[in-house]
A and B are shown apart, each in its own frame.
Chain A
Amino acid sequence: MVELTVDGQAVGAEKGKMLLPICLDAGFDIPHLCYNESVRPYGACRLCLVEVRKNGRGRMTTSCTYPVIEGIEVLTQTEKVLRARRLVIELILAMCPGDEEIQEMAREMGVEDVRFEKEEKDCILCGLCGRVCEEVVGANAIHFANKGSNREMIPPFAGEATDCIACGACVTVCPVNVIGMREESDERTIIRWKRTLKMKKCKVCGNYFAPWFQLEKFRQQAGLPTDFFDTCYSCRE
């Protein structure tokens, strides 16, 4: 256990934990977009900036990638921090002016207007979908490509994501809801990754319950009998 102070309040924390979850747990509001506790911290969105003071010297850092140390003093609401966060959200808003979630967040932080040239992107490049696909799902179907201002999250060679099992984890984790999924009769499509998979029909009730490709993968991984996924969970005895 280490002791630190956040905005003047003493907070105890487990050693090695990152600062952002500790502050959130203690009730301090820090905006963030690219953080999810199920995957490793990444520090892409830069919104969770805080000021950390140690031995009389202070510096600004992203709290999601800062492991706590004994005796630090964290300031989450200073003018300097708020100004930096406003700039960050303004840049994100300039990149993706159409995202409602970003617009709402910017409004809450007091940013009305964008001074920079606007782009027409919708993805904020937080990388959550790719990290979830790699670390949680283990499918590695999508990844970042290119560098600098051309960076984008795409399936291999911007074609169909052939390793995608259409589990939908990226759809639920996306902070700006731009991935999108569609289920029509016997097909499920992950729209952004151009991946369409046939759904399996339950032998007993006739409902479609999961994509073939996904079930086949699970069956092989777990060494289940070939007829294991013939029935859905509700019909399985």
Chain B
Amino acid sequence: MENLNVYAVRLLTQKEYFAPGHRSCQGCAEALAVRLIAKALGRNAIVVQATGCMEIVASPLPFTSWEVPWIHVAFETAASVASGIEAGLKALMRKGRLPKKRVTVLGMGGDGATNDIGIMALSGALERGHDFVYICTDNEAYMNTGIQRSSGTPFGASTTTSPAGRVIPGQITWKKNMAAIAAAHNIPYVATACPSYPLDLVDKVKKAAGTKGPAYVHILSVCPTGWRSPTEMSIRLGRLAAETGVFPLYEIVNGRYRLTIDFPKLRPIRDYFKYQGRFRHLTDEMTEQIEERVHREYQALKDKCQ
């Protein structure tokens, strides 16, 4: 799927459900991801959004970019409100107060809202088996409040609350593997995606929406502001994240793993780091250590795909 981006992308719907004119930064890949998600879901969707970049930029009162029903809820409650909406829709359709049709309920949050603050509500909703989709748009820190570290921040990245210096070399913990946590709930569909591979992303979101039961999609969204990278590099950085093995793109359908994009040979991780100011301070030795662990984890994932 990933290499079909010549003509196949022109066949996506031309209607925009996430309108332009929002206030995201230049080069924001997260806005691109959200636009593709909205296109993939179409108009029969209800979006529940936790606090985060995409809520801030898309809904400065009295404007909104959303052309589908959209509700903003507190940081930790996106998953619980989504499950409530799903239950409500089910009840109303059963009683005949609403016509019976497929409505996708989408819970959405950033890495902070998903990995840190909302993980309890998300875990509950996944375990209860609500028929909804949860999408985490992961830009690897609390970007809209000023780049504070989250549990999604990768090892070695310098943020305002994990500043690289004499004491620590940036973030000192490894990135939390949220997709694996979601998969541990034994839900029917888990996937990782990246807007640099648009067809792959649209395909996975569509699959998630078509799944009966909970589905979780983890999307890496390059953030030039927080990653200290040139704005025109966003798409390339997303590709490099996949090609270096830092963010492998895979899906888990009913417990069966599949790498949707596999590379015969992984690129050296230096290619990915060199464009990002947040990794500027890393020594060669540390880069090698990170690379070794990334390769080990990639191999472990590949073994699961057999």
Contact = CB atoms under 8 A, between A and B. Distances in A.
- B interface: dominant SS: loop
Nearest to A133: B7
A169 B236 contact: no
Indicate the size class of the contact surface on chain B. Answer: 20 to 34
Interface of B: 1, 3-4, 6-8, 10-11, 13-15, 43, 101, 199, 236, 239-240, 243, 263-265, 267
A136 B265 contact: no
B8 A168 contact: yes
A25 B15 CA distance: 9
Interface residues of A, number: 28
Contact of A167 (B1, B6, B14, B240): B6
Given A206-B264, A207-B264, A233 B239 contact: yes
Given A169-B4, A214-B6, A234-B243, A136 B264 contact: no
B8 A172 contact: yes
Contacts of B265: 205-207
A169 B240 contact: no
Contacts of A234: 236, 239-240, 243, 267
28 contacts: A24-B43, A25-B15, A25-B43, A27-B43, A29-B101, A36-B11, A38-B14, A132-B7, A136-B10, A136-B11, A137-B7, A167-B8, A168-B1, A168-B4, A169-B7, A171-B4, A172-B8, A183-B3, A188-B3, A205-B265, A205-B267, A207-B243, A208-B264, A210-B6, A214-B6, A233-B236, A234-B239, A234-B243
Nearest to A218: B6
A188 B3 CA distance: 10
Contacts of A171: 4, 8
A108 B35 CA distance: 29
B4 A167 contact: yes
Interface in A151-205: 167-169, 171-173, 183, 185, 188, 205
A209 interface: yes
